[in-house]
Amino acid sequence: MKIMSVVGARPNFMKIAPFIRAIEDYNNAFREDSQPVPPSRPPSGSLHHSATSPLQHILVHTGQHYDDKMSLAFFEALDIPQADINLEIGSGSHAEQVGQTMIAFEKVLREHRPDWVVVVGDVNATCACSITAKKEHVKLAHIEAGLRSRDMTMPEEVNRLVTDRLSDLLLTPDQLSSANLRAEGAAATAIHFVGNIMIDTLEHQRAKAERLEIATIVQENAIAGQKRPEASPLRQDAFALMTMHRPSNVDDAGTLTAILDFLLEEVAAEMPLVWPIHPRTQQRLQDCGLWEKVLDCPGVLLLHPLGYHELLRLNMAARVVLTDSGGLQEECCVLGTPCLTLRWNTERPVTLQEHGGASILVGNDVHKIRDAYREMLVAERAPARPELWDGRTAQRIVQALVAFEG
Protein backbone atom coordinates (compact mmCIF):
# COMPACT_ATOMS: atom_id res chain seq x y z
CA MET A 1 0.00 0.00 0.00
CA LYS A 2 1.33 3.43 -0.96
CA ILE A 3 0.39 6.28 1.39
CA MET A 4 1.06 9.92 0.56
CA SER A 5 0.75 12.34 3.47
CA VAL A 6 0.67 16.11 3.14
CA VAL A 7 1.90 18.91 5.40
CA GLY A 8 1.73 22.60 4.69
CA ALA A 9 2.25 24.67 7.82
CA ARG A 10 3.55 24.48 11.38
CA PRO A 11 0.35 23.00 12.94
CA ASN A 12 0.69 20.02 10.57
CA PHE A 13 4.25 19.22 11.57
CA MET A 14 3.39 18.21 15.14
CA LYS A 15 0.64 15.95 13.79
CA ILE A 16 2.57 14.20 11.04
CA ALA A 17 5.59 13.25 13.19
CA PRO A 18 3.82 10.49 15.18
CA PHE A 19 2.09 9.23 12.03
CA ILE A 20 5.45 8.70 10.33
CA ARG A 21 6.79 6.92 13.43
CA ALA A 22 3.72 4.66 13.48
CA ILE A 23 4.27 3.68 9.84
CA GLU A 24 7.90 2.84 10.64
CA ASP A 25 6.81 0.79 13.66
CA TYR A 26 4.24 -1.01 11.53
CA ASN A 27 6.81 -1.86 8.88
CA ASN A 28 9.35 -3.02 11.47
CA ALA A 29 6.76 -5.28 13.05
CA PHE A 30 5.73 -6.53 9.62
CA ARG A 31 9.28 -7.58 8.79
CA GLU A 32 9.58 -9.43 12.09
CA ASP A 33 6.33 -11.27 11.55
CA SER A 34 5.28 -11.29 7.91
CA GLN A 35 2.21 -13.47 8.47
CA PRO A 36 -0.84 -11.25 7.81
CA VAL A 37 -4.09 -11.51 9.71
CA PRO A 38 -7.58 -10.96 8.25
CA PRO A 39 -8.79 -7.36 8.21
CA SER A 40 -10.46 -6.45 11.48
CA ARG A 41 -10.69 -3.58 13.90
CA PRO A 42 -7.70 -4.17 16.20
CA PRO A 43 -7.33 -3.41 19.90
CA SER A 44 -6.54 0.24 20.64
CA GLY A 45 -2.91 1.06 20.03
CA SER A 46 -1.98 -2.27 18.45
CA LEU A 47 -0.14 -2.72 15.18
CA HIS A 48 -1.55 -6.00 13.92
CA HIS A 49 -1.36 -6.41 10.17
CA SER A 50 -4.09 -6.62 7.60
CA ALA A 51 -1.93 -5.66 4.60
CA THR A 52 0.15 -8.15 2.67
CA SER A 53 3.30 -6.04 2.42
CA PRO A 54 5.02 -3.17 4.25
CA LEU A 55 3.61 0.30 3.77
CA GLN A 56 5.25 2.70 1.37
CA HIS A 57 5.12 6.30 2.57
CA ILE A 58 5.71 9.53 0.64
CA LEU A 59 5.79 12.84 2.52
CA VAL A 60 4.76 15.94 0.58
CA HIS A 61 5.47 19.41 1.98
CA THR A 62 3.51 22.09 0.14
CA GLY A 63 5.76 24.83 1.52
CA GLN A 64 2.88 26.97 2.82
CA HIS A 65 5.33 27.99 5.56
CA TYR A 66 8.65 28.47 3.89
CA ASP A 67 11.15 30.04 6.32
CA ASP A 68 13.50 27.96 8.45
CA LYS A 69 12.05 29.14 11.76
CA MET A 70 8.57 27.96 10.85
CA SER A 71 9.46 24.85 8.86
CA LEU A 72 12.94 23.35 8.77
CA ALA A 73 13.56 23.90 12.47
CA PHE A 74 10.37 22.02 13.33
CA PHE A 75 11.26 19.10 11.07
CA GLU A 76 14.63 18.80 12.80
CA ALA A 77 13.28 19.21 16.34
CA LEU A 78 10.54 16.60 15.87
CA ASP A 79 12.74 14.13 13.96
CA ILE A 80 10.57 14.34 10.84
CA PRO A 81 12.47 13.05 7.82
CA GLN A 82 13.12 15.45 4.99
CA ALA A 83 10.06 15.68 2.77
CA ASP A 84 10.22 13.48 -0.32
CA ILE A 85 8.56 16.24 -2.34
CA ASN A 86 8.43 19.99 -1.64
CA LEU A 87 5.97 21.97 -3.72
CA GLU A 88 7.46 25.31 -2.55
CA ILE A 89 4.14 27.15 -2.73
CA GLY A 90 5.11 29.91 -0.29
CA SER A 91 2.88 32.69 0.96
CA GLY A 92 -0.07 34.34 -0.75
CA SER A 93 -3.79 34.85 -0.43
CA HIS A 94 -6.03 31.89 0.40
CA ALA A 95 -7.05 31.53 -3.25
CA GLU A 96 -3.46 31.76 -4.45
CA GLN A 97 -2.23 29.11 -2.02
CA VAL A 98 -5.11 26.73 -2.73
CA GLY A 99 -4.93 27.17 -6.50
CA GLN A 100 -1.16 26.84 -6.79
CA THR A 101 -1.15 23.83 -4.47
CA MET A 102 -3.81 22.05 -6.53
CA ILE A 103 -1.87 22.59 -9.75
CA ALA A 104 1.38 21.29 -8.27
CA PHE A 105 -0.18 18.42 -6.33
CA GLU A 106 -2.07 17.13 -9.36
CA LYS A 107 1.27 16.50 -11.10
CA VAL A 108 2.58 14.66 -8.02
CA LEU A 109 -0.47 12.40 -7.84
CA ARG A 110 -0.31 11.53 -11.51
CA GLU A 111 3.36 10.63 -11.20
CA HIS A 112 3.19 8.55 -8.01
CA ARG A 113 -0.42 7.20 -7.99
CA PRO A 114 -0.75 6.54 -4.24
CA ASP A 115 -3.48 4.35 -2.77
CA TRP A 116 -4.20 6.93 -0.07
CA VAL A 117 -3.72 10.64 0.46
CA VAL A 118 -3.63 11.51 4.16
CA VAL A 119 -4.21 15.14 5.16
CA VAL A 120 -4.07 16.65 8.64
CA GLY A 121 -5.74 19.58 10.31
CA ASP A 122 -7.31 22.54 8.55
CA VAL A 123 -4.71 24.62 6.69
CA ASN A 124 -5.07 25.62 3.04
CA ALA A 125 -2.89 22.69 1.94
CA THR A 126 -5.36 20.31 3.60
CA CYS A 127 -8.27 21.62 1.55
CA ALA A 128 -6.33 21.93 -1.71
CA CYS A 129 -4.86 18.44 -1.63
CA SER A 130 -8.19 16.91 -0.60
CA ILE A 131 -9.95 18.33 -3.64
CA THR A 132 -7.15 17.25 -5.94
CA ALA A 133 -7.00 13.72 -4.51
CA LYS A 134 -10.69 13.13 -5.12
CA LYS A 135 -10.52 14.54 -8.66
CA GLU A 136 -7.74 12.01 -9.28
CA HIS A 137 -9.83 9.21 -7.72
CA VAL A 138 -7.42 8.57 -4.83
CA LYS A 139 -8.80 7.51 -1.44
CA LEU A 140 -8.64 10.31 1.14
CA ALA A 141 -8.15 10.15 4.92
CA HIS A 142 -8.48 13.18 7.19
CA ILE A 143 -6.70 13.26 10.55
CA GLU A 144 -8.60 15.59 12.95
CA ALA A 145 -11.90 15.16 11.15
CA GLY A 146 -15.11 16.53 12.61
CA LEU A 147 -13.78 19.60 14.41
CA ARG A 148 -16.28 22.45 14.08
CA SER A 149 -16.20 26.05 15.28
CA ARG A 150 -19.41 26.86 13.37
CA ASP A 151 -17.80 30.14 12.42
CA MET A 152 -17.77 30.48 8.64
CA THR A 153 -15.66 33.63 8.84
CA MET A 154 -12.72 31.38 9.71
CA PRO A 155 -10.89 30.05 6.61
CA GLU A 156 -10.03 26.96 8.65
CA GLU A 157 -13.70 26.11 9.09
CA VAL A 158 -14.22 26.16 5.33
CA ASN A 159 -11.19 23.92 4.91
CA ARG A 160 -12.54 21.45 7.49
CA LEU A 161 -15.97 21.24 5.92
CA VAL A 162 -14.66 20.67 2.40
CA THR A 163 -12.11 18.10 3.50
CA ASP A 164 -14.54 16.10 5.61
CA ARG A 165 -17.16 16.04 2.88
CA LEU A 166 -14.66 14.49 0.47
CA SER A 167 -12.90 12.05 2.83
CA ASP A 168 -13.31 8.28 2.66
CA LEU A 169 -11.89 7.86 6.16
CA LEU A 170 -12.74 10.37 8.89
CA LEU A 171 -10.30 10.05 11.79
CA THR A 172 -11.74 11.97 14.74
CA PRO A 173 -9.95 13.24 17.86
CA ASP A 174 -12.92 13.09 20.24
CA GLN A 175 -16.50 11.89 20.49
CA LEU A 176 -17.91 15.39 19.98
CA SER A 177 -16.24 15.49 16.56
CA SER A 178 -17.67 12.09 15.66
CA ALA A 179 -21.12 13.36 16.64
CA ASN A 180 -20.66 16.40 14.40
CA LEU A 181 -19.97 14.15 11.42
CA ARG A 182 -22.94 11.90 12.13
CA ALA A 183 -25.20 14.96 12.37
CA GLU A 184 -23.92 16.08 8.96
CA GLY A 185 -24.81 12.73 7.42
CA ALA A 186 -21.38 11.12 7.15
CA ALA A 187 -21.47 7.34 6.79
CA ALA A 188 -20.93 5.54 10.07
CA THR A 189 -18.44 3.20 8.40
CA ALA A 190 -16.26 6.18 7.42
CA ILE A 191 -16.00 7.60 10.96
CA HIS A 192 -13.21 6.20 13.14
CA PHE A 193 -12.66 7.68 16.60
CA VAL A 194 -8.89 7.39 17.07
CA GLY A 195 -7.97 10.11 19.58
CA ASN A 196 -5.84 13.24 19.38
CA ILE A 197 -2.58 12.86 17.47
CA MET A 198 -1.24 16.13 18.94
CA ILE A 199 -1.09 14.37 22.30
CA ASP A 200 1.08 11.64 20.74
CA THR A 201 3.64 14.35 20.06
CA LEU A 202 3.25 15.91 23.50
CA GLU A 203 3.85 12.59 25.25
CA HIS A 204 6.74 11.67 22.95
CA GLN A 205 8.45 15.04 23.44
CA ARG A 206 7.51 15.80 27.06
CA ALA A 207 10.75 14.55 28.62
CA LYS A 208 12.89 16.52 26.17
CA ALA A 209 10.92 19.69 26.90
CA GLU A 210 11.19 19.20 30.66
CA ARG A 211 15.00 19.21 30.42
CA LEU A 212 15.06 22.73 28.98
CA GLU A 213 15.92 25.64 31.26
CA ILE A 214 13.35 28.40 31.19
CA ALA A 215 16.01 31.05 31.71
CA THR A 216 17.88 29.77 28.65
CA ILE A 217 14.72 29.86 26.52
CA VAL A 218 14.15 33.50 27.47
CA GLN A 219 17.77 34.52 27.03
CA GLU A 220 18.20 32.90 23.61
CA ASN A 221 14.91 34.14 22.16
CA ALA A 222 14.47 37.62 23.65
CA ILE A 223 13.67 40.39 21.19
CA ALA A 224 16.21 43.19 21.17
CA GLY A 225 15.34 46.67 22.32
CA GLN A 226 13.31 45.83 25.42
CA LYS A 227 13.84 48.20 28.33
CA ARG A 228 13.15 45.54 30.93
CA PRO A 229 15.50 45.76 33.93
CA GLU A 230 17.38 42.72 35.16
CA ALA A 231 14.98 40.40 36.97
CA SER A 232 15.08 37.12 38.83
CA PRO A 233 14.53 33.93 36.81
CA LEU A 234 10.95 32.92 36.08
CA ARG A 235 9.52 30.59 38.70
CA GLN A 236 7.05 27.73 38.30
CA ASP A 237 3.43 28.97 38.42
CA ALA A 238 4.60 32.57 38.68
CA PHE A 239 4.31 33.94 35.15
CA ALA A 240 1.70 34.25 32.41
CA LEU A 241 2.21 32.94 28.88
CA MET A 242 0.64 34.74 25.93
CA THR A 243 0.20 33.93 22.23
CA MET A 244 -2.09 35.82 19.87
CA HIS A 245 -2.28 35.99 16.08
CA ARG A 246 -5.85 35.66 14.80
CA PRO A 247 -7.28 38.51 12.70
CA SER A 248 -10.22 38.90 15.10
CA ASN A 249 -7.77 39.96 17.82
CA VAL A 250 -5.01 41.81 16.01
CA ASP A 251 -6.37 43.34 12.80
CA ASP A 252 -8.71 45.91 14.37
CA ALA A 253 -6.74 48.71 16.06
CA GLY A 254 -9.37 49.30 18.74
CA THR A 255 -9.59 45.62 19.73
CA LEU A 256 -5.81 45.22 19.74
CA THR A 257 -5.31 48.36 21.83
CA ALA A 258 -7.89 47.30 24.43
CA ILE A 259 -6.36 43.85 24.83
CA LEU A 260 -2.86 45.31 25.00
CA ASP A 261 -3.84 47.81 27.71
CA PHE A 262 -5.23 44.98 29.82
CA LEU A 263 -2.08 42.91 29.34
CA LEU A 264 0.32 45.72 30.21
CA GLU A 265 -1.64 47.43 32.99
CA GLU A 266 -3.03 44.38 34.80
CA VAL A 267 -1.32 41.11 33.87
CA ALA A 268 2.24 42.38 33.46
CA ALA A 269 1.83 44.61 36.52
CA GLU A 270 1.47 41.63 38.85
CA MET A 271 3.51 38.86 37.20
CA PRO A 272 5.93 38.52 34.29
CA LEU A 273 4.12 38.15 30.95
CA VAL A 274 6.08 35.95 28.53
CA TRP A 275 4.96 36.73 24.99
CA PRO A 276 6.39 34.80 22.00
CA ILE A 277 5.09 37.16 19.36
CA HIS A 278 3.76 36.12 15.99
CA PRO A 279 5.10 38.15 13.02
CA ARG A 280 1.55 39.19 12.10
CA THR A 281 0.94 40.56 15.60
CA GLN A 282 4.26 42.38 15.71
CA GLN A 283 3.51 44.04 12.39
CA ARG A 284 0.06 45.14 13.55
CA LEU A 285 1.50 46.60 16.78
CA GLN A 286 4.01 48.55 14.72
CA ASP A 287 1.35 49.71 12.29
CA CYS A 288 -0.80 50.95 15.19
CA GLY A 289 2.07 52.75 16.92
CA LEU A 290 2.00 50.37 19.90
CA TRP A 291 5.27 48.50 19.49
CA GLU A 292 7.41 50.87 21.55
CA LYS A 293 4.83 50.80 24.32
CA VAL A 294 5.26 47.03 24.60
CA LEU A 295 9.05 47.25 24.46
CA ASP A 296 9.00 49.80 27.28
CA CYS A 297 6.84 47.73 29.65
CA PRO A 298 9.08 46.20 32.34
CA GLY A 299 6.67 43.33 33.03
CA VAL A 300 6.69 41.95 29.49
CA LEU A 301 9.22 39.46 28.09
CA LEU A 302 8.90 39.60 24.31
CA LEU A 303 10.30 36.55 22.54
CA HIS A 304 10.75 35.58 18.91
CA PRO A 305 8.51 32.69 17.72
CA LEU A 306 9.55 29.57 19.62
CA GLY A 307 10.19 25.99 18.66
CA TYR A 308 7.84 23.25 19.80
CA HIS A 309 9.85 22.14 22.83
CA GLU A 310 10.48 25.67 24.08
CA LEU A 311 6.82 26.62 23.98
CA LEU A 312 5.80 23.33 25.57
CA ARG A 313 8.28 23.92 28.42
CA LEU A 314 6.81 27.35 29.11
CA ASN A 315 3.28 25.92 29.05
CA MET A 316 4.31 23.34 31.64
CA ALA A 317 5.45 26.09 34.00
CA ALA A 318 3.00 28.95 33.40
CA ARG A 319 0.47 30.05 36.00
CA VAL A 320 -2.00 30.90 33.26
CA VAL A 321 -2.04 30.87 29.45
CA LEU A 322 -3.80 33.47 27.29
CA THR A 323 -4.05 32.30 23.70
CA ASP A 324 -6.08 32.11 20.50
CA SER A 325 -4.26 28.93 19.43
CA GLY A 326 -6.18 25.66 19.20
CA GLY A 327 -3.05 23.58 19.75
CA LEU A 328 -2.24 25.33 23.03
CA GLN A 329 -5.82 24.73 24.18
CA GLU A 330 -5.24 21.00 23.77
CA GLU A 331 -1.89 21.08 25.55
CA CYS A 332 -3.31 23.08 28.45
CA CYS A 333 -6.05 20.47 28.83
CA VAL A 334 -3.57 17.61 29.31
CA LEU A 335 -1.03 19.66 31.28
CA GLY A 336 -3.72 21.25 33.45
CA THR A 337 -2.56 24.81 32.80
CA PRO A 338 -5.45 27.27 33.30
CA CYS A 339 -6.20 28.70 29.85
CA LEU A 340 -8.07 31.77 28.62
CA THR A 341 -9.01 31.20 24.99
CA LEU A 342 -9.22 34.58 23.25
CA ARG A 343 -11.95 33.48 20.86
CA TRP A 344 -15.74 33.50 20.83
CA ASN A 345 -15.89 29.91 19.60
CA THR A 346 -13.67 26.87 19.41
CA GLU A 347 -13.53 23.77 17.26
CA ARG A 348 -12.13 21.97 20.33
CA PRO A 349 -14.94 22.18 22.90
CA VAL A 350 -13.64 19.06 24.64
CA THR A 351 -10.88 21.30 26.08
CA LEU A 352 -13.36 23.64 27.80
CA GLN A 353 -14.10 23.54 31.51
CA GLU A 354 -17.69 22.50 30.91
CA HIS A 355 -16.36 19.31 29.29
CA GLY A 356 -13.73 18.71 31.97
CA GLY A 357 -10.89 20.68 30.33
CA ALA A 358 -8.80 23.65 31.44
CA SER A 359 -9.99 26.41 29.10
CA ILE A 360 -12.56 29.22 29.22
CA LEU A 361 -13.75 31.04 26.10
CA VAL A 362 -13.40 34.79 26.66
CA GLY A 363 -13.38 36.27 23.15
CA ASN A 364 -11.79 39.71 22.89
CA ASP A 365 -14.02 41.53 25.38
CA VAL A 366 -11.69 42.92 28.04
CA HIS A 367 -14.34 42.76 30.79
CA LYS A 368 -14.85 39.06 30.15
CA ILE A 369 -11.10 38.47 29.86
CA ARG A 370 -10.49 40.26 33.17
CA ASP A 371 -13.14 38.29 35.06
CA ALA A 372 -11.90 34.95 33.76
CA TYR A 373 -8.27 35.93 34.40
CA ARG A 374 -9.03 36.62 38.06
CA GLU A 375 -10.84 33.31 38.29
CA MET A 376 -7.93 31.44 36.71
CA LEU A 377 -5.36 32.98 39.07
CA VAL A 378 -6.86 31.06 41.99
CA ALA A 379 -7.65 27.89 40.04
CA GLU A 380 -5.77 24.71 40.78
CA ARG A 381 -3.77 23.07 38.02
CA ALA A 382 -5.99 20.13 37.03
CA PRO A 383 -4.74 17.93 34.18
CA ALA A 384 -7.52 16.26 32.18
CA ARG A 385 -7.20 13.53 29.59
CA PRO A 386 -10.16 13.06 27.25
CA GLU A 387 -10.87 9.56 25.95
CA LEU A 388 -8.08 8.12 23.74
CA TRP A 389 -5.78 11.11 24.31
CA ASP A 390 -3.23 8.50 25.36
CA GLY A 391 -0.28 8.92 22.99
CA ARG A 392 -1.25 6.00 20.73
CA THR A 393 -3.51 7.73 18.22
CA ALA A 394 -1.08 7.38 15.30
CA GLN A 395 -1.01 3.61 15.71
CA ARG A 396 -4.80 3.49 15.53
CA ILE A 397 -4.71 5.64 12.39
CA VAL A 398 -2.29 3.31 10.61
CA GLN A 399 -4.41 0.33 11.55
CA ALA A 400 -7.57 2.03 10.28
CA LEU A 401 -5.88 2.64 6.93
CA VAL A 402 -4.68 -0.92 6.41
CA ALA A 403 -8.00 -2.39 7.59
CA PHE A 404 -10.16 -0.11 5.44
CA GLU A 405 -12.78 -1.79 3.30
CA GLY A 406 -14.55 0.33 0.77
Please indicate whether residue 245 is annotated as part of the active site: yes
> For 143, phi and psi rounded to 5 degrees?
-85, 130
As a whole number of angstroms, the distance between CA 77 and CA 217 comes to 15
Neighbours of 29 (CB within 10 A): 15
Report the DSSP beta bridge partners of residue 170.
142, 191
HSE at residue 2, side-chain half, CA atoms within 13 A, is 8
The amino acid present at 400, given as its one-letter code, is A
Are 9 and 65 in contact, with CB atoms under 8 Å apart?
yes
Domains and CATH numbers, the chain: 2-196+390-402 (3.40.50.2000), 204-377 (3.40.50.2000)
Q: Which of 245, 278, 304, 355 is catalytic?
A: 245
The amino acid present at 321, given as its one-letter code, is V
Q: What is the pLDDT along the chain (406 residues), one digit of tens a residue?
A: 999 999 998 889 999 999 999 999 999 998 877 655 544 444 444 555 555 689 999 999 998 765 555 677 888 899 999 999 999 998 889 999 999 999 999 999 999 999 999 999 999 999 999 999 999 999 999 999 999 999 999 999 999 999 999 999 999 999 999 999 999 999 999 999 999 999 999 999 999 999 999 999 999 999 999 987 666 689 999 999 999 999 999 999 999 999 999 999 999 999 999 999 999 999 999 999 999 999 999 999 999 999 999 999 999 999 999 999 999 999 999 999 999 999 999 999 999 999 999 999 999 999 999 999 999 999 889 999 999 999 999 999 999 999 997 6
pTM value is 0.92
Angle at which helices 253-262 and 279-287 pack, to 10 degrees? Answer: 100
